[in-house]
Amino acid sequence: MGNEIVLSIILTTLLIFILIIGVIISFFMVGQQRSKQEIILTQANLNYEQELRKVESELSEGVKRHIAQELHDNVGHLLTCMRLEIENKKLDHPELIGHITSIDQYLQETSDQLRLLSRTLNSDFLEKLDFYAAMDLEVERLKRLRKLEIQWVRQQDRLLVDTNNELILFRISQEIISNALRHSNASKLKISCSAEPNFQLVFEDDGKGFETTKILNSAQASGLQNILKRTELIGMKCEITSILGDGSSITITKKTNESNN
């Protein structure tokens, strides 16, 4: 009788132990399944964000392409007509040449600026260039504006970046430059780019600077947030540093394997 009681206790204990192990295994499997679902959901959200940014970029490029075409075909044509009219006036009234020459020079400068702006807006034209050639064109346009001193330094003849991303990288550069022109009150802007040993694109200005954390968390940061999102889209990272009264620096680098994980 005693042996039967002992055996019953042992069997009951084993049964409870098996049940506990079963519950633990069930919780573990549910946890693993939940983790897999979270990973899948996170990846889906990431893919959605990337596709959304691509669509936004494509729409933006479509608008820029349309504006560039309008500038080239319509405004450019009007400026050409104005210059032809001035040349006719010079022939008809030689005594007015001294007065008209300065106007003609301004029109020529306007035509040159319009041509450069049209090219930097036209994605079809830019896709035929590499990043460096597009930046050369943009720097030439900026120098003609004479709003600030531009220094453009590149260490290689070819940029080691996926060609599909070069246009986006150029648009990011344009936005950074535009911010410097509009908000920094800078007198100098240095742009430097190196591809080896690691890709690095740096924008440095001597402007008024800003409180980085405060601005990035404010409604005024849409331009900076757009820059951060676009660099993320092409697998790069962007570091923004600034000190009040001591200028700003924006550095774009490729993400390392460690930062991707």
DSSP state of 256: P
The predicted pLDDT at position 260 comes to: 47
Tens of pLDDT, residues 189-229? 999 998 777 889 999 999 998 888 777 777 666 778 888 88
The predicted pLDDT at position 252 comes to: 94
In the structure, what pLDDT confidence band is assigned to residue 83 with cuts at 50, 70 and 90? confident
H/E stretch holding 242 reads: strand 236-242
18-32, 66-80, 97-111, 199-213: range with highest mean pLDDT: 199-213
| 3-class SS of residue 192 | strand
Q: Report how far residue 172's alpha carbon sits from residue 248's, in angstroms, rounded to the nearest whole number.
A: 16
Closest to 251 measured CA to CA, from 214, 186, 205, 200: 200
The predicted pLDDT at position 259 comes to: 47
**Beta bridge partner(s), residue 188:** 149
In the structure, what pLDDT confidence band is assigned to residue 80 with cuts at 50, 70 and 90? confident
Q: Report how far residue 125's alpha carbon sits from residue 65's, in angstroms, rounded to the nearest whole number.
A: 9
**Where do we find the tokens 């923004």?**
240
Are 244 and 228 spatial neighbours (Cβ–Cβ below 8 Å)? Answer: no
Number of alpha carbons in the 13 Å side-chain half-sphere of residue 56: 12
159 φ, ψ (degrees, to nearest 5): -90, 130
Give the pLDDT mean for 78-82. 71
Task: Domain 148-261: give its CATH architecture.
Answer: 2-Layer Sandwich (3.30)
* CB contact set of 162 (below 8 Å; sequence gap of 6+): 234
Are 91 and 101 spatial neighbours (Cβ–Cβ below 8 Å)? Answer: no
Are 96 and 89 spatial neighbours (Cβ–Cβ below 8 Å)? Answer: yes
